[in-house]
């Protein structure tokens, strides 16, 4: 059984609309949101099907319906953003040096935002992490899109106000137009050049030493993939899979309190 600590629940409960229903309202009261969220976290951790929820949790149909509502209304995104900003105010997040990368997730069922690649049908999880490996942005996209084209979309899911000073990626992000676009926003892109590059080099070798710490974003993907539900996408709706990814990030951030 997975249970939230009292301080964790009190930190996020204000974002759930079910918690603001007045006590005097006529009709049956909804299942407590905390129990529903704990049931979703159990699904996230085990990767089990919805109908396999243990009896200690609410009915799986109620849990599934409530989870879809949260994903559709971007409740989980607001929860994650609020927790990330609280950590930044405490000095636990450092956006001066950030790392970007993507990981491939196989999609076994149908649905939207699924792309076909040499590895099969699937999605990409794009992430930007700070110098401690904590998530600042996480998003999902069809796997047949190149990562260079997804960088600006990744910033649409950025969770704090301050943009990174330096953004470090691998050779997939070696793009002069991308460098110029990010530089106009005050972001310096640091990525080693491809071996088949024809244009003159533009990267400073001294700044490329930061690339050696790119393992931090790889470690972040390893952290969230301990949650078995996001190893393979089974959800038909892309927003539901993104909701599970956001919950996995929330579990990572909770460890910093």
**Rounded to 5°, angle at Cα 106 from 101 and 110:** 125
Specify the pTM. Answer: 0.92
Q: What are phi and psi of 128, to 5 degrees?
A: -120, 125
Distance CA 12, CA 14 (A): 6
H/E run at residue 135:
strand 135-142
Q: What is the pLDDT of residue 123?
A: 94
Exposure of 155 by Cβ count < 10 A (0-12 exposed, 13-18 middle, 19+ buried)? buried
Q: What is the pLDDT of residue 195?
A: 77
Average pLDDT rounded to a whole number, residues 223-228 = 95
Tens of pLDDT, residue by residue over 34-78, are: 999 999 999 999 999 999 999 999 999 999 999 999 999 999 999
**Among the ranges given (57-61, 209-213, 232-236), the one the predictor scored with the smallest mean pLDDT:** 209-213
Tens of pLDDT, residue by residue over 67-120, are: 999 999 999 999 999 999 999 999 999 999 999 999 999 998 888 899 999 989
Tens of pLDDT, residue by residue over 135-146, are: 999 999 999 999
Within 10 A of 55 (CB to CB), how many other CB atoms are there? 6
Q: What is the pLDDT of residue 206?
A: 67
**Is residue 71 a contact partner of residue 237, using CB atoms and an 8 Å limit?**
yes
CA atoms within 13 A on the CB side of 134: 24
Q: Kindly calculate the radius of gyration of the chain based on its CA atoms and give it in whole angstroms.
A: 20
Residue 25 to residues 29, 36, 63, 239, Cα–Cα distance (Å): 8, 21, 22, 31
Domain ranges of the chain: 6-73, 94-234
Q: What architecture is domain 94-234?
A: 2-Layer Sandwich (3.30)
pLDDT tier, 249 (very low <50, low <70, confident <90, very high otherwise): very high
Distance CA 166, CA 196 (A): 25
Q: Share the mean pLDDT of the chain.
A: 91
């Amino acid at each position: 059984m997975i249970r939230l600590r009292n301080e964790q629940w009190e930190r996020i409960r204000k974002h759930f609309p079910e918690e603001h229903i007045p006590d005097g309202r006529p009709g049956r009261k909804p299942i407590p949101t905390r129990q529903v969220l704990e049931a979703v976290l159990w699904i996230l951790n085990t990767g089990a099907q919805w109908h396999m929820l243990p009896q200690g949790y609410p009915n799986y149909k109620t849990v599934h319906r409530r989870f879809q509502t949260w994903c559709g209304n971007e409740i989980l995104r607001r929860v994650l953003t609020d927790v990330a900003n609280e950590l930044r105010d405490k000095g636990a997040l450092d956006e001066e040096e950030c790392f970007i990368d993507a990981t491939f997730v196989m999609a076994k069922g149908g649905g939207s935002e699924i792309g076909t690649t040499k590895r099969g049908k699937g999605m990409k999880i794009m992430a930007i992490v700070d110098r401690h490996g904590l998530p600042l942005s996480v998003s999902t996209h069809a796997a047949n899109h190149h990562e260079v084209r997804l960088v600006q979309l990744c910033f649409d899911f950025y969770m704090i106000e301050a943009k990174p000073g330096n953004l470090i990626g691998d050779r997939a992000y070696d793009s002069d137009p991308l460098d110029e676009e990010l530089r106009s926003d005050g972001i310096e892109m640091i990525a080693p050049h491809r071996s088949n590059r024809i244009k003159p080099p533009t990267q400073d070798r001294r700044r490329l030493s930061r690339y050696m710490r790119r393992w931090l974003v790889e470690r972040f993907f390893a952290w969230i993939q301990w949650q078995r539900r996001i190893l393979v996408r089974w959800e038909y709706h892309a927003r539901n899979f993104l909701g599970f990814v956001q919950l996995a990030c929330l579990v990572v951030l909770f460890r910093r309190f």
